[in-house]
Amino acid sequence: MRNNTMGSLIWLRLMRFTNQSNQMSNDFLKRFDLTTAQFDVLMQIRIYQPLTQSELAEKVTVTQGGISRMLARLEKENYIVRKQDWKTKTINLTAKAEAILDQAMPEQLAFQTSFFDDVLDEEEQKTLYKLMTRVHKYSQKRELPSE
Amino acid sequence: MRNNTMGSLIWLRLMRFTNQSNQMSNDFLKRFDLTTAQFDVLMQIRIYQPLTQSELAEKVTVTQGGISRMLARLEKENYIVRKQDWKTKTINLTAKAEAILDQAMPEQLAFQTSFFDDVLDEEEQKTLYKLMTRVHKYSQKRELPSE
DNA sequence: CATCATCATTTGACTAGTCAAGTTAAGAGG
DNA sequence: CCTCTTAACTTGACTAGTCAAATGATGATG
């Protein structure tokens, strides 16, 4: 009864894996009092701060509404500050967030890395990265069929 | 400032790609009045029905609570029926759901497949599948450190 | 038979996100 | 100065999920 294509099998694998590793990552980050989504957003802010909400939304592939809610939560926890700056709101990390990230970042990187380092050699990782990059970039291109 | 490992780059790519393709799939399935998550769950039920909620939860990697809410929504829309059967609840598709799936399944498979067919040749797809399978299986093994 | 243990499922309080309609802040034109 | 447009952001109603405490259903034991 295997009426599945290779593509659909890959798709399923990707979905299940990201789902699972995401949850494991949430678990791992619990000791820093962060979720995976929050870590992701805070890292992007750290790299690009100061930046506006729309810029950030684009970087983490979330809608304007989504980023608005996320930032409201992060602000409530004192991880970021937003200030009205002309028409837009400018986002910056607080010292608290910087301190947590200094701790959490190397550990989270090591955690992510361990998913691959333990089962794939360097060559295989490069191959996987290259293939996924092609697939991802292609999917982004399809998103704007008007261009 | 690239303090990223290959593993963390792969991780990011996987997250962003699944995120994005998931949204595109939601969009695609709109014409069948289904979300990607619903399609996924209905397909699993179709393959394994009749089955219990806990069995289903495991198949789609969701918690008991999560599957309970999802099934409540699907039941409200008349896609499934649950009946108390001894201690457990047994799930079956309705004729309505079967009819929709007959239509949606081939199209959704083709949709998923197109993400890969258009940019990777057969050999590359097999490689990608093999690598992701190793990574995924390994991550599942880690989940139960007590064994 | 009442209570107890044990699965299976549900539910309350949350995070994280979507879409679409509603605000808000500036600048532009009458 | 007032209205109009527009870009940036927020919000209401919803899906999808988590965890942990509560509820249901059944069988076992004193």
Average pLDDT of the residues in A10-29: 95
Is pLDDT larger for residue B79 or for residue B144?
A: B79
Flag if A138 and B115 touch (Cβ within 8 Å): yes
* pLDDT for the residue B85: 76
Report the share of chain B in percent with pLDDT over 90. Answer: 84
Which nucleotide minimizes the distance between its C1' and the CA of A52?
D8
Partner-chain residue, chosen from A5, A112, A139, that has the shortest CB–CB distance to B17: A139
**pLDDT above 60: residue A38:** yes
Q: Which residues, listed in sequence order, are joined to residue B92 by a DSSP beta bridge? A: B81
Q: Is residue B65 part of a domain?
A: yes
Instruction: Kindly indicate the confidence band of residue A141, based on its pLDDT and cuts at 50, 70 and 90.
Output: confident
Residue B147 in domain: no
pLDDT for A50 equals 87
Mean per-residue pLDDT over chain B, rounded: 91
Q: Is residue B146, in this structure, part of any structural domain at all?
A: no
B143 versus A53: which is more confidently predicted? Answer: A53
pLDDT tens track for B79-88: 999 988 776 7
CB A137 within 8 A of CB B18: no
State pLDDT tens for residues A118-137.
999 999 999 999 999 999 99
Give the range of the structural domain holding residue B112, as residue numbers without chain letter: 6-141
A68 CA – D11 C1', rounded, Å: 10
Q: Is the pLDDT of residue A72 over 90?
A: yes
Min CA distance, B47 vs chain A (Å)? 9
Residues B109 and B103 sit within 8 Å (Cβ to Cβ): no
Mutating which of A38, A126, A128 best tests the B interface, going by the most B Cβ atoms within 10 A? A128
**B100 is a domain residue:** yes
User: Is A54 a member of any domain?
Assistant: yes
Distance CA B1, CA B132 (A): 28
For residue A92, the tally of other CB atoms under 10 A from its CB is 15
Quickly give A86 CA vs C28 C1' distance in Å.
17
Among A6, A47, A133, the residue with its CB nearest the CB of B129 is: A6
The winner for highest mean pLDDT among A86-90, A109-113, A141-145, B85-89 is A109-113
Mean pLDDT, to the nearest integer, of A31-58? 94
Quote the number of domains for chain B: 1
Whether residue A89 is predicted with pLDDT greater than 90 in this model: the reply is no
pLDDT band at B50, cuts 50/70/90?
Answer: confident
Please indicate whether, in this complex, the C-beta atoms of A14 and B61 are within 8 angstroms of each other: no
Q: Output the CA–CA distances (angstroms, integers) from residue A124 to A97, A127, B26, B37, in the order listed.
A: 35, 5, 32, 31
Instruction: Examine residue B84 and state whether it is found in any structural domain, yes or no.
Output: yes
Is a pLDDT exceeding 70 seen at residue B145? no
Nucleotide nearest to B84 (CA to C1'): D25
Could you tell me if residue B46 is inside a domain? yes
In a domain, B1, yes or no: no
Residue B144 pLDDT: 57
Q: Is the pLDDT of residue B1 over 80?
A: no
The protein residue nearest nucleotide C25, judged by CA to C1', is: A87
Report the gap between the CA of B99 and the closest CA in chain A (Å).
18
Average pLDDT over residues A27-54: 94
Q: What pLDDT does residue B147 have?
A: 35
- CATH at A107: 1.10.10.10
Query: Angle CA(B96)–CA(B42)–CA(B54) in degrees, nearest 5?
Result: 130
